[in-house]
Structure 1
Amino acid sequence: MVVMTIVSAVGLLVDDRVLAGAAIWAKPFKFAVSFVVYALALAWMLTLLTRGRRVGRWAGTVVAVSSLVEMAIITGQVVRGKRSHFNHATPFDSALFDAMAVTVVVLWAGTLVIAILLLRARIPDRAAAWAIRSGVVLALVGAGLGFLMTQPTEEQRAAGDLDTADVIGGHAVGVPDGGPSMPFTGWSTTGGDLRVPHFVGMHALQLLPLLLMTLVALAPRFARLRDPRVRLRLVLVASAAYAALTALVTWQALRGQPLVHPDGATLAAAALIVAATAAGTYGALRPSPAPGPDPSGAPEQPSSPSAKESVS
């Protein structure tokens, strides 16, 4: 995928073809970059398994192979100058899209197996355990939202003749694909776009563990963060906020509303999420109460090791 990132970047520079309103090499470039960070995160998480490691290795291999097959089809269609997604123009194009649909299902199933193994793994630091498990579960939700794009749009249903249509499904909601869009991401600026919740959900896999790593890195400078219980509470707040954000952008997209033009209901919901997150963060940063004296007069037991020591 690193190699394909470079190849696609070169394609963006030297190939001026445009397909569905975007540079033809933009899709393989974005997919390659996404697969790089996705695979790195999963590979790191597999090292944390305490049981079922062989199953985890097989699941990781399945994810790698299925993503490779999907990337090969996307790139092959770019070379042919054809759409890779939602393309039913010819039996061959339709067969390629169906094959991609199978690889996505297989990739999702492989990730699900890894998620189950992580839920059963004994990770000493509770904050780390919650960051990893929340991240992989939300990533599965985000990946699953991608299946909404394969369904015929309302406009396609209204036009009829789905059996003979060249394109079935799409990213946009309420407007055709290929219209005005945001730079680089290509997300629609005139209608809803299902790629937004798909992207947000999938990248919880990296962002929530990165949040915890940041908290651990800042702990030497901020006394509150040295307390493992504070870090755990912050991770729980962040996980809930991320889940709420994923739900919000999904709701927004399904109503045919662009990400950059939210209406009053979307803004009100976003404000509630921000307020709840701020309140949760404030509560999480409160110092934990010191343990009281033992009524029996027994000496206090030594505290449990810190998250950093546990990870070491």
Structure 2
Amino acid sequence: MATELSTGAVAAAFHERQRAREAARLSALAQPSYPADRVRDEPDCGLRTPIQRDRDRIVHSKAFRRLKHKTQVFVAPAGDHFRTRLTHTLEVTGIARTVARALDLNEDLVEAIGLGHDLGHPPFGHIGEAVLDDCLREHDGRRFRHFEHSLRVVTVLEPLNLNASVRDGILSHSGRSPQPQTLEGRIVRLVDRIAYLNHDIDDAIRAGVLDERALPAGPIALLGTTGSQRIDTLVHDLVEHSEEAGDIVQGAQAAVEMDALRDFMFSEVYLAEAARREHVKIETVLCKLWRYYLEDPERVPDGGGIPGADPAQRVVDYLAGMTDRFAVNAFETLFVPRGFEA
């Protein structure tokens, strides 16, 4: 409820000033910040646009805080410099803002989408996603996809009442989902791939899983020998071709070389022998937890999950929200024998 301390001349003039600024500065192809388009109507903030408010709601959510302890590629790495799901999120968001700024699109919108796009990722990265998907499919034929679960997080598990353009960008950020409706959402979708490919190479080399000399010659020759060079090349290519096309697109040659780099990473890192060994361990942890909680969903803390959800969904919601270390601790507590002190 507004009070005398929350009103004033700055707040009173904010909406019109922001609308005028966007009208003068943003491309005609940009998604404007006004009017708000929420499922539940609410008064606008006096000092933030509706999209800036969504960004803040995402950053203050519990799901966002948990990203710092969720795997990007390497599970529970011992070193301090490996990416987590949180650092990946921040890297994607920063690159996406650069692209939006260059194209005069809505930076606040790409920031909100970028910060929220991976909120639904389960523990243990894409391996964890595959295991939960297998569990759910075997149970009743449903699927678990992290991009769909990201939307569930912000609409059901932590209902943030986000704008439609932010919700659409979160849901549509994956290559397995339909194209986003806004150019800002399409930026995040493409930049997500640019970021993770190059940062995963850096982490794989640091982990000793990949020899830098083994990187495919074609993509490296065109895109650059370092991660920063490759990202810079791909971003410049993206903004130039997007400006010309009036859409978010890569140049044909850059797209081909980036796909070749992606194929190399799947073959040599993501699906390599070391990753398959971890897959077996992760499958053991998550499948045991899945069966334990599905046997009696009331074992799930906080009353068994979201009221009204069916038992399998309640268990999936709980498991997907776990961090890596929480999942391992839960497994050890439930299934690993403990010694007794005299």
Larger Rg: 1
TM-score, structure 2 as length reference: 0.31
